[in-house]
Structure 1
């Protein structure tokens, strides 16, 4: 089980600010750049993570239509050719330049409502050699976990949120599932900037996992 210090670290950013947010609405995903088979894998992963988080999905978002967009592509520059994407992602050109400069293979952009809850997430995945070697189920589940809450930019850099099962499949690690369930507890705030929030999450973690 994760203790309060470990939980705090998962939401403490590189500038040492504690920042937490969860979705305040149903998740309505859409996926670009994959086959129909992979599309079902991605949506299945989101459904699985919503299930462990006690959150829910919907066919459409009344404000945005789709509020969880996944883009799979080969080169970052391809994003500049996507119609109207620059209207959804602020400073798209600058973002592409920054992630290209560091040879990144994934990036997420969150949008928030007036209460600080997540209202949209744009997940960009460049299928470089590393990403291409990752099984679709593993890649999809990892990305689904990372869009469920606003994790620290340092979370999961060296440790995966997933665990390998004996049959070769993958699951969300029990401690991460427990943390997501605690984060989506109805009595918990949808957004927080005080580290004491981690103490409240720790108190709601399952005692046995």
Structure 2
């Protein structure tokens, strides 16, 4: 499954609707916790976190020293359930108005990121309202898609036209090679944790090419 990306295609992954460029990765190990699922789905989501973190060369931890868990994934049926989660309004400023906007938009998923003083990601909250559309998605596919979108601050337009996932000949769903390569390159220790200039995309492209030649 070939999926080579040009510098412009990489830049588009981090260029927001307002034209600004921003790529940020995690500045600390991920400490994920999942709410609202059975044990089988929990294992699937945790497995997706481990697989994507291994791909990126990033660490998974049992706990985060500040929050306990810094990556929270919520599965639920109605947006009105979120304000009832104890202390969630302390973690997410403006939770009530956010829920109102998501209800009005008919949204079935949303991610909220928090950042440290340097701009690197230090927390992520993933909300999945399990409507008929998401119910039809296999757990492995849904988990992998959400995890990869939580590993970097992608553009708000990055995956509107094409999923970050692809399918192998045997039916298995995996990260598209181009997206996997960008993720790996973004977590390369020589790359900055935060970038706001589109020249960053050229550096990512160079890392992809060096990986192919290695």
- Tell me the TM-score range normalised by the shorter chain: over 0.9
Q: Does 1:52 align with 2:83?
A: no
Q: Does 1:34 align with 2:37?
A: yes
Query: What TM-score results when the alignment is normalised by the length of structure 1?
Result: 0.97
Name 1:104's counterpart in structure 2: 107
Name 1:170's counterpart in structure 2: 173
Instruction: Report the Cα distance in structure 2 between the residues aligned to 1:165 and 1:2, rounded to whole angstroms.
Output: 18
Name 1:183's counterpart in structure 2: 186
Q: Does 1:156 align with 2:159?
A: yes
Q: In structure 2, which of residues 15, 18, 22 is the aligned counterpart of residue 15 of structure 1?
A: 18
The alpha carbon displacement at 1:13 in A equals 0.5
The alpha carbon displacement at 1:138 in A equals 0.2
1:56-205 aligned at under 5 Å gives the runs 56-205=59-208
Instruction: Report the Cα distance in structure 2 between the residues aligned to 1:199 and 1:39, rounded to whole angstroms.
Output: 37
Root-mean-square deviation over aligned CA pairs: 0.9
Instruction: Report the Cα distance in structure 1 between the residues aligned to 2:56 and 2:6, rounded to whole angstroms.
Output: 18
Instruction: Report the Cα distance in structure 1 between the residues aligned to 2:24 and 2:74, rounded to whole angstroms.
Output: 22
Show structure 1 runs of 5+ residues with no match. none
The alpha carbon displacement at 1:158 in A equals 1.6
Instruction: Report the Cα distance in structure 2 between the residues aligned to 1:34 and 1:95, rounded to whole angstroms.
Output: 23
Instruction: Report the Cα distance in structure 2 between the residues aligned to 1:38 and 1:167, rounded to whole angstroms.
Output: 22
Show structure 2 runs of 5+ residues with no match. none
Instruction: Report the Cα distance in structure 2 between the residues aligned to 1:59 and 1:93, rounded to whole angstroms.
Output: 30
The alpha carbon displacement at 1:157 in A equals 1.0
The alpha carbon displacement at 1:64 in A equals 1.0
Instruction: Report the Cα distance in structure 1 between the residues aligned to 2:168 and 2:136, rounded to whole angstroms.
Output: 19
Instruction: Report the Cα distance in structure 2 between the residues aligned to 1:166 and 1:207, rounded to whole angstroms.
Output: 22
